[in-house]
Structure 1
Amino acid sequence: MPLQYINEMLGLPELQLHSVLSQNATEVHLEASPVAYKQPCPICHSEQSVKRDGRNKSRKIRHVSIFGKKCFLHIPSLRLACARCNIGFVWSYTWVGPKEQYSRLFRSQTVNQALGSTAAHSARMQEAPASTVQRMHQEALPAENERLLEQAWRQAKDTPELVLGIDDFAIKKGHTYNTGIHDLRGETMLDLLAGRKLDALRAYAEQHPDFLNLNPKAVVMDLAQTYHTWISECFPKAIRIADRFHVHGYVIESVQAVRKSVQSTLSPRAKIILKSHHRLLNPPADSLPEKSRTQLNQLLAFSPLLREVWEWKEAFTHWYDYSPNLHVAQLGFTRWCQQGEAIKHEAVQSALKTMRNWEEEIVNYHHCRWTNATVEGRHNRIKAYQRRHYFTRNRRCYKAGILIECNRQRLLG
């Protein structure tokens, strides 16, 4: 192939290829030099008084692969001198940094592969040392994170009816947690703060005025009192919505508690059937296939109490899905609570107590139907990232890596 076409494949218009030094099954070595004869002086920015002053040892630069082979460019390290400023300097290439052995395009390609997987995987793909890829990844994180965060915050500030999502996820279950702040409408993660206690949340708001400058229409959270207190202090006009997933979890827990109490009174055969298919009680009946519905009817036939609490759970799902407006939702919620009061079981009464305590936040769902579903999906992505990177110890890199992991696909398409 002619050298001019290889030059186009490399994407380096400032270089001119001279020859192929060597090639084998895995590598190709190319000799190249700058197209221009001189460069401007870094002080006076003029070429008039600049002249060449010899060359140092040539540089060997790893570039992106061509023809399925590793590509190495051998370029001259030209010495230049400016008579006006009386200084000497070395030719500066825009596609590779000074004293670097890898081109910027190679580094960008390698980092992009590492961001979606691991440094070890990217190293195998590029046939480069894993430690080198890891270093490139760590160096690229701050700038990439800052760029994506700036775009995410600008998008959140420009959103006319901003909806925020607040939720925590575990670093170590039962011990250490992080709290994420999410733009639900823009599907981005705005920030990550350590801890989930009220003092930590208040300290974050004091240290980040950009957060207080947001003007959210609504904020979606679980039923943690800490979050509701914090949001009511930061955004008193925002609608506080109890996340449907977490609210529905309380009802499902009561159904399973009734199932366990009923299960202990059944015959051994019926007990085995109910225990092995207990998950059929959780989803809406409409979402089950025909075979699962038949099995569900078999389970409900074991106990009138189980059927009654299951119908109560189904009524709650129907209330969420089909309440046309806030007024109808308030009336429907009252009727649903009255339906639950007729069920004489401790678990149901406990769930009803929680529902009444959070009635306003639960009914607020019908102001604007937003949930933290995308946030929960993002938590799965974060957990996968933590497993891949073995819980990165450096807090700065850990935070930047998670924010990039959550925002990169959405903001970059």
Structure 2
Amino acid sequence: MARLERLAWLGRYQRVTDRLAQACSQLLQSSNVQAVARFFDLGWHTVKTLDKARLRESVCEPDWTRIEYLAMDEFALHKGHRYATVLVDPIGRQVLWIGPGRSRETAQAFFEQLPPGVAQRIKAVAIDMTTAYELEIRDHCPQAEIVYDLFHVVAKYGREVIDRVRVDQANRLRQDRPARRIIKSSRWLLLRNRDNQDRQQAVRLDELLQANQPLLTVYVLRDELKRLWFYPRPAWAKQAWNHWCDLADRAAECRHQGGPRS
């Protein structure tokens, strides 16, 4: 007569021991599923199942009564053109919700599933510069401040200001083909952070900026723009913002007049 025996070290319907599952869970805290599967010579789906079980045990339901700030962003799924939206509590550093897509309907789905009264307590929401997100925030949390995050603001400045000036400067050098070619090929050099440039690229950038005053101006303004997110006091940040706007206005006026003022 066959009988089933319960093993203390093996979970019900499990193909790995509790000790191995615990080892995988510990490693998954600092690594991804594929790397852990390769390390223990296990199947990807086996490790993925263990990871889901770990998350169910370790991730608790958010305490919505304490949440006053939100951060909303999109991320790509795999390498295709599919996206998802994630909502995070930036103070408690907890993921609150993930939904498919990056449309206004996606943001609406998040706000509609909130417990009563939560949306009215939100003081500020950090987002990229996506109009769809902002419209839903204005609709459900009219009292909340909209905060644009550093990465997307600087990226937008690079695309719409630095790159625009680069194109304008290249167009002005139609009669000087070598100089025009240098500026036309400098797009990524200007947009890439200095920390990500090698020695040769840094030298090329310095030479380019020294030779072109308009590009130097907008490049320096970008560096000053980044600093606004790191002031410890709101009053200091506001003062720096007003100063930055004044510099930007003067630079624009100078550009339209065709040169620096004396």
When normalised by structure 1's length, the TM-score is 0.48
Asked whether the equivalents of residues 69 and 125 of structure 2 are also in contact (C-alpha less than 8 Å), the reply is: yes
Counterpart of 2:54 in structure 1: which amino acid? E
1:316 aligns with 2:230: no
- Out of 54, 59, 62, the position equivalent to 1:149 is 59
- Out of 104, 110, 117, the position equivalent to 1:204 is 110
Asked whether the equivalents of residues 37 and 47 of structure 2 are also in contact (C-alpha less than 8 Å), the reply is: no
Asked whether the equivalents of residues 209 and 216 of structure 2 are also in contact (C-alpha less than 8 Å), the reply is: yes
Once the two structures are TM-superposed, the CA of residue 186 in structure 1 deviates from its matched residue by 2.8
1:230 aligns with 2:136: yes
- Out of 181, 185, 189, the position equivalent to 2:91 is 185
Matches for 1:233-244 after TM superposition, within 5 Å: 233-244=139-150
- Whole-angstrom CA distance in 1 between matches of 2:78 and 2:226: 32
- Out of 103, 124, 137, the position equivalent to 2:17 is 103
Structure possessing the higher radius of gyration over alpha carbons: 1
Extract unaligned runs of 5+ from structure 2.
Answer: 258-262
Tell me the equivalent position of 1:259: 166
Asked whether the equivalents of residues 164 and 218 of structure 1 are also in contact (C-alpha less than 8 Å), the reply is: yes
Extract unaligned runs of 5+ from structure 1.
Answer: 1-54, 57-78, 80-89, 346-413
1:344 aligns with 2:256: yes
Pick closer, same or farther for the CA change 1:313–1:106 going to 2, 3 Å. closer
1:117 aligns with 2:42: no
When normalised by structure 2's length, the TM-score is 0.71
Q: Kindly provide the CA deviation profile for residues 234-253 of structure 1, in whole angstroms up to 9, marking residues without a partner as x.
A: 33333211112212222222
Q: How many residues of Structure 1 are paired with residues of Structure 2 in the alignment? A: 250
Counterpart of 1:248 in structure 2: which amino acid? V
- Whole-angstrom CA distance in 2 between matches of 1:174 and 1:336: 41
SS at match of 2:72: strand
- Out of 214, 217, 220, the position equivalent to 2:126 is 220
Once the two structures are TM-superposed, the CA of residue 317 in structure 1 deviates from its matched residue by 4.2
- Whole-angstrom CA distance in 1 between matches of 2:41 and 2:194: 52
Structure with larger RCO (C-alpha < 8 A, sep 6+): 1
Q: Kindly provide the CA deviation profile for residues 26-76 of structure 1, in whole angstroms up to 9, marking residues without a partner as x.
A: xxxxxxxxxxxxxxxxxxxxxxxxxxxxx85xxxxxxxxxxxxxxxxxxxx
Once the two structures are TM-superposed, the CA of residue 201 in structure 1 deviates from its matched residue by 2.1
Matches for 1:278-293 after TM superposition, within 5 Å: 278-282=187-191
Pick closer, same or farther for the CA change 1:149–1:270 going to 2, 3 Å. same
1:300 aligns with 2:206: no
Once the two structures are TM-superposed, the CA of residue 320 in structure 1 deviates from its matched residue by 5.5
- Whole-angstrom CA distance in 1 between matches of 2:244 and 2:181: 35
- Whole-angstrom CA distance in 2 between matches of 1:248 and 1:273: 24
Pick closer, same or farther for the CA change 1:149–1:237 going to 2, 3 Å. farther
Asked whether the equivalents of residues 170 and 178 of structure 1 are also in contact (C-alpha less than 8 Å), the reply is: yes
Supply the RMSD in Å over aligned alpha carbons: 4.1
- Whole-angstrom CA distance in 2 between matches of 1:187 and 1:278: 35
Identical-pair percentage: 21
- Whole-angstrom CA distance in 1 between matches of 2:117 and 2:57: 17
Asked whether the equivalents of residues 82 and 101 of structure 2 are also in contact (C-alpha less than 8 Å), the reply is: yes
